[in-house]
């Protein structure tokens, strides 16, 4: 179909290319606003050629006159199978490169995550036409999603003769691909001058029930980098927008959906190099995820529009596919809007978070939100960390990576700055037919950052109730006037300090809560992380040593919690008869940890049975790891030796005193000793109720 869009009569020349030659047909005359339907079979008949003799070829319509007035579109129809496909008529003279591209192409049996899943098995066809009298070659490259990044598979070069048209079926490439795939895009590179090859890409379901036509765009066509498309959703209809990055660098995209008067923005859309992204409008609507304005696509919306535009001068193309899978119908839309990319509003760059606090050696991601405007005045927000220059001011407090990843270095305050590093505004040059950077008026966004101190360790990590413990706090960012806090019941006296270390005394009150206390360091930038200082309470006795008589006479014997000590042999020969000395103990706290602080340990006796007789229960003060003298054990001189077959027993109880507070220990030791058939024995089981 060829239409005259003017109010004047227009003449045109028509040519058919087949069999390696260009054949001129009879000139055509179009009345004002007339549309003619041209039949290829009839045009071949006028040239005395049958369709069987020219099964493939091309048609060229060249209007006469200086003012373009004709538009054209072709259709190929298969009446038997009931499907058709559309042919475009690109203008060769406006093609900017010798590379073409098609996006959103189903191939093979689509994977389960494909928007084409369940619609059949597809065989893409790439139809290429040489517009010149010179032979050239064509290389077709398939691009598709990979596990980590987009992948590419180039096919063997195709020889294209003069004025030749070739239909390449890509089922021959299935063995080269990691099928199944959700979709692919197809690159077409030719060796001749730009505009010397045109192409059509259609993917045909193997049963002939469905054809997915794909837009073929020149990779240098700036108009391909934007689109305004309708979408529709119902029980049988899906709408999918395919976007392809044709370049070797990331492509940020401005994206806007409108429905029921609601404007919804996706502000973090970026395409990786050579990536094709499928945006399912149903999934986007049903997710009900609010945008940065807290807007959502209405959940009941069935119709609307989507507008997208490349940000910066990056080659991008896209098309909207509206698919009725159960009816076997597909429509595609690719209405372009702007020749060049959008440009940055000179006052609209915001760094987030708006003010932040981190610790030394900790990190946080910062983002920048820039506002861009397209050629129609539509504003698009873009949030992220790529495409900006980042730096701290002043330096030394924090470092910032090229992608806005901030790490605290030393305690203090700095400002995190961001600068858009691409061109501020792209403008179309009509004379040179290209997009140029008009000016770079990039704004700077900034946000304050506080870097707090960080504690890495504390030594000593525990202290006894009622006792003052000296500690060393190590870390970073303590600054010029740090304050140390150790929680309830602990009075802190700060000593010498530097940016990495603090000396302090922790005076633990006798009524301080036992267990872990959070120790923090506060500076002008905030409070650090916390480490634990453990307040100990004497709890039980876990070890008794009998290291023998003074002068080293006698063996070392150890009693531990839950064990029974039996001393066999004639003690009279190694110890002076009746001496109870040589006793060493170990007291632990409520967590079973040894107590290192200074305290008073006291034991007392009860339940004495034996020939000597025990004074009334009494206290015997002891110091850590001490040995008793003869008169200390019972508070009187050691009794005489036991007679034959005599024995005595008693119970030992303990308490510890620290900070004026008494702590009864739960341990009870029952001591039995005596002579049995001439043998002197001591048994001392330790029990902890």
Q: How far is CA 635 from CA 599, 616, 620, 626, in A?
A: 21, 10, 8, 16
More confident position, 396 or 136: 136
Q: CA-to-CA distance for 595 and 537, rounded, in angstroms?
A: 9
Q: pLDDT at position 444, please?
A: 79
Q: Comparing C-alpha atoms, which of 550, 622, 544, 619 is closest to residue 583?
A: 544
Q: pLDDT at position 117, please?
A: 92
Write down the residue that tokens 């453990």 correspond to: 534
Q: CA-to-CA distance for 438 and 100, rounded, in angstroms?
A: 28
Q: CA-to-CA distance for 4 and 641, rounded, in angstroms?
A: 135
CA quadruple 483, 484, 489, 490: dihedral positive or negative? negative
pTM of the model: 0.67
CB 677 within 8 A of CB 568: no
Tokens of 307: 């507008």
Percent of the chain residues past pLDDT 70, beyond the cut: 80
Whether the pLDDT of residue 632 is over 60: the answer is no
Whether the pLDDT of residue 629 is over 60: the answer is no
CB 174 within 8 A of CB 205: no
Whether the pLDDT of residue 638 is over 50: the answer is no
Q: How many CB atoms lie within 10 A of CB 20?
A: 12
H/E stretch holding 46 reads: helix 40-46
Q: pLDDT at position 306, please?
A: 94
pLDDT tens by residue, 310-353: 887 788 999 999 998 777 778 887 778 888 777 777 667 889 89
Whether the pLDDT of residue 61 is over 70: the answer is yes
Q: pLDDT at position 575, please?
A: 34
3-state secondary structure of 573: helix
The ranges assigned to domains in the chain are 2-72, 92-218, 221-337, 343-452, 454-536, 538-687
Q: pLDDT at position 170, please?
A: 95
pLDDT tens by residue, 560-597: 433 333 333 222 222 334 444 445 567 788 888 888 77
Instruction: Go through 107-132 and write b for each residue having 16 or more CB atoms within 10 A of its CB, e for each that does not.
Output: bbbbeeebbbeebbbbbbbbbbbbbb
The burial of 639, by beta-carbon neighbours within 10 Å (0-12 exposed, 13-18 middle, 19 or more buried), is given as: middle
Confidence of residue 552 (pLDDT cuts 50, 70, 90): very low
Q: pLDDT at position 569, please?
A: 28
Confidence of residue 84 (pLDDT cuts 50, 70, 90): low
Fold category of 221-337 in CATH: Hypothetical Protein Tm1070; Chain: A (2.60.290)
Q: pLDDT at position 399, please?
A: 94
Q: Are 343-452 and 454-536 the same fold in CATH?
A: yes
Mean pLDDT of 463-488: 93
Q: CA-to-CA distance for 365 and 458, rounded, in angstroms?
A: 30
Q: How many CB atoms lie within 10 A of CB 235?
A: 6
Q: How many CB atoms lie within 10 A of CB 140?
A: 24
Q: CA-to-CA distance for 385 and 369, rounded, in angstroms?
A: 9
Q: Comparing C-alpha atoms, which of 280, 335, 108 is closest to residue 205?
A: 108
Whether the pLDDT of residue 204 is over 80: the answer is yes
DSSP assignments along 232-271, one per residue: E-SSSEEEEEEEEE-SSS-EEEEEEEEETTEEEEE---EE
pLDDT tens by residue, 476-494: 889 889 999 999 999 999 9
Assign domain 343-452 to a CATH class.
mainly beta
Q: CA-to-CA distance for 683 and 680, rounded, in angstroms?
A: 10
Q: pLDDT at position 340, please?
A: 79
81-95, 521-535, 604-618, range with greatest mean pLDDT: 521-535
Assign domain 92-218 to a CATH class.
mainly beta
End-to-end CA distance of the chain: 102
CATH of 454-536, one of 3.40.50.2000, 1.10.10.1100, 3.60.21.10, 2.60.40.10: 2.60.40.10
Whether the pLDDT of residue 36 is over 90: the answer is yes
Average pLDDT, the chain: 82
Q: How far is CA 387 from CA 251, 297, 422, 483, 602, in A?
A: 9, 28, 7, 41, 73
Whether the pLDDT of residue 429 is over 80: the answer is no
pLDDT tens by residue, 650-669: 777 777 888 778 888 877 76
């Amino acid at each position: 179909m060829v239409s005259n869009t003017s109010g004047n009569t227009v003449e045109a020349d028509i040519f058919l290319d087949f069999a390696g030659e260009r054949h001129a047909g009879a000139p055509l005359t179009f009345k004002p606003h007339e549309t003619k339907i041209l039949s290829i079979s009839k045009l071949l008949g006028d040239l005395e050629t049958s369709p069987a003799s020219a099964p493939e070829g091309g048609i060229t319509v060249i209007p006469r006159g200086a003012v373009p007035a004709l538009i054209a579109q072709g259709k190929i129809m298969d009446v038997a199978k009931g499907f058709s496909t559309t042919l475009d008529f690109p203008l060769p003279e406006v093609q900017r490169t010798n590379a073409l591209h098609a996006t959103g192409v189903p191939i093979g049996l689509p994977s389960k995550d494909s928007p084409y899943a369940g619609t059949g098995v597809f065989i893409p066809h790439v139809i290429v036409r040489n517009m010149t009298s010179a032979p050239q070659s064509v290389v077709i490259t398939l691009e598709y999603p990979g596990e980590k990044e987009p992948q590419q598979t180039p096919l063997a070069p195709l020889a294209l003769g003069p004025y030749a048209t070739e239909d390449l079926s890509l089922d021959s490439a299935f063995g080269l691909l990691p099928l199944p795939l959700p979709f692919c895009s197809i690159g077409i590179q030719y060796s001749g001058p730009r505009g010397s090859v045109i192409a059509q890409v259609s993917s045909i379901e193997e049963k002939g029930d469905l054809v997915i036509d794909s837009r073929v765009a020149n990779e240098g066509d700036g108009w391909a980098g934007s689109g305004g498309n309708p979408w529709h959703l119902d029980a049988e209809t899906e709408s999918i927008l395919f976007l392809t990055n044709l370049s070797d660098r990331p492509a940020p995209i401005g994206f806007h959906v409108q429905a029921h008067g609601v404007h919804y923005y996706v502000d973090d859309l970026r395409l990786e190099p050579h990536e094709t992204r499928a945006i399912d409008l149903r999934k986007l609507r049903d997710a009900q995820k609010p945008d940065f304005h807290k807007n959502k696509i209405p959940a009941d919306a069935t119709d609307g529009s989507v507008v997208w535009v490349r940000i910066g001068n990056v080659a991008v193309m896209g098309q909207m596919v509206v698919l009725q899978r159960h009816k076997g119908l597909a429509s595609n839309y690719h209405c372009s809007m702007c020749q060049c990319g959008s440009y940055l509003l000179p006052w609209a760059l915001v760094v987030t978070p708006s003010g932040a606090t981190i610790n030394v050696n900790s990190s946080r991601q910062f983002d920048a939100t820039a506002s861009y405007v397209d050629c129609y005045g539509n504003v698009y927000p873009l949030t992220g960390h790529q495409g900006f220059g980042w730096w701290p001011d002043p330096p030394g407090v924090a470092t910032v990576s090229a992608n806005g990843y901030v790490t605290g270095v030393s305690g203090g305050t700095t400002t995190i700055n961001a600068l858009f590093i691409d061109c501020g505004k792209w403008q179309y040059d009509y004379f040179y037919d290209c997009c140029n950077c008009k000016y770079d008026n990039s704004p700077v966004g900034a946000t304050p950052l506080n870097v707090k101190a960080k504690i890495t360790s504390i030594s000593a990590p525990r202290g006894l109730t009622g006792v003052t413990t000296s500690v060393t706090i190590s870390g970073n960012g303590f600054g010029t006037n740090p304050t140390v806090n150790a929680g309830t019941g602990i009075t802190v006296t700060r000593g010498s300090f530097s940016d990495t270390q603090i000396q302090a005394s922790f005076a633990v009150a006798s009524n301080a809560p036992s267990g872990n206390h959070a120790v923090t360091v506060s500076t002008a930038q905030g409070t650090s992380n916390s480490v634990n200082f453990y307040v100990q309470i004497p709890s039980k006795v876990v070890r008794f040593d009998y290291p023998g008589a003074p002068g080293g006479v006698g063996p070392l014997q150890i009693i531990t919690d839950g064990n029974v000590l039996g001393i066999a042999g004639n003690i009279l020969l190694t110890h002076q008869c009746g001496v109870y000395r040589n006793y060493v103990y170990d007291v632990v706290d409520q967590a079973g940890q040894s107590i290192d602080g200074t305290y008073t340990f006291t034991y007392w006796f009860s339940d004495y049975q034996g020939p000597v007789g025990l004074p009334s229960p009494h206290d015997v003060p002891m110091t850590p790891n001490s040995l008793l003298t003869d008169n200390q054990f019972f508070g009187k001189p050691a009794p005489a030796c036991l007679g034959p077959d005599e024995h005595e027993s008693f119970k030992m109880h303990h308490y510890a005193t620290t900070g004026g507070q008494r702590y009864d220990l739960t341990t009870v030791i029952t001591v039995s000793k005596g002579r049995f058939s001439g043998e002197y024995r001591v048994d001392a089981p330790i029990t902890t109720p």
